[in-house]
Structure 1
Amino acid sequence: MNRTYACNRDFLRQLRLRNGWTQSDLAKRAGYSERLISKAEAGSPIALETIVDLADAFSEEEEQQIYWEDLACDPVALAQRFIHAVYTYQKDTVSHIRDFLAEDCVFRVAGNPEEIPFAGEHVGIDATDRMFQIFFSILEVPKGHDHTKHFQYFCQGPNAIIWGDSWIHPIGRPMETPIRVSHLLMFKRGKLMLLDDCYDTAAGAAILRDSSAPKPE
């Protein structure tokens, strides 16, 4: 049985418009009907072989090679999996997202490492895993917390953006207000290449400093 995938319709349309093509133009270049291109841009599943042909058609005009995995990747779904893993598995986050991590992935966490121990640029899966080990040796997810109510996900071509409020707090020190966070996730061939984690670093450092002080009696 032939495999079928839904295309990343935003990225497909972005590539088409970037080249100044109509759906009819793309159809002719790839060797398919305009109806099929319309179907692909609507997010309906199409054959893998067809996605390969579409990627080849774009690659003839793009400066960089476009692969079928780029067109079939669903960045929002993977971003949702990432947040689910962080809030559900915590220290074991990496083992639950390893299937879509590039071997040389980069996790870039804002902040001064002298104030925020997990801040900095972490290159590779092992370094990313160590970062999460440090992160969750200091912080924890609130008990009974429903993270799904606090994040929004946006597709940006082949990438995803996450906006939301983080209630993850120093162990044993719940917060009264959340920290606003944003994550940029960049993908290539269906693998996460870069995660850029941005937040109010001054507030984050202050919360960690306060957490090291003795609890009031």
Structure 2
Amino acid sequence: MDPLPPFSAVILAGGRAARLGGQAKPQLLVGGRPILAAVLDAAADAERRIVVGPPQPVPPDVVLVREQPPGGGPVAGVRAGLADVETDVVVVLAGDLPFLTPGLVEGLRERLTGDGVLVVDDTGRDQYLLGAWRTAALRSATARVQGPTSLRRVLGSIAVRRWRPDAPAGAAPPWLDCDTPADLARARAIADGHLAPRAPRPAPPVLPRFQAPHDPR
């Protein structure tokens, strides 16, 4: 098999979570370390790792940038991160995924055949902050919009493949994020061995390979 092309990683780590008491989610501890550290480790093979968000601790080889306007949302964050991307492939990741693995990131890169590929979780939901993209296609899509909007709306115009990965038996799903106190408590209990991950649900139907989702809005 041919080697995968070099890639960059854009990690969205901005804002404070109102449902978590205004704390910065990426810096919360799960398994004794900040969640952001797990995401950075999962993207360790990237040519460049770019964290988008407010000032926060990052390793010296990581680029830290701020979206404009600050707190402007995922589209603004992706656009800011892309300014420092020099590779033809970029993975875009949420900064609150404590169980993200290098294998999942590699799996996305292996499946990148069109403009982009993203993970579909076990509820059938598209995870737009867990995907790999052609940098040119992502730049073009995000440059066309002005003002706040959703990534789903922005990326609905490009060729997106969907991938439903299997979580290894006994492992937490890599798409498990920490949006609420209950999410955070569950992640910490799993990491500490006090709670078994839920059994994966049967895979839901997935849209055809390059079909964009219908957005009724």
User: TM-score when scaled to structure 1?
Assistant: 0.25
Q: Which has the larger radius of gyration?
A: 1
More helix, by proportion? 1
More strand, by proportion? 1
User: TM-score when scaled to structure 2?
Assistant: 0.25
- Which structure would you say has the larger RCO, counting Cα contacts within 8 Å and 6 or more residues apart? 2
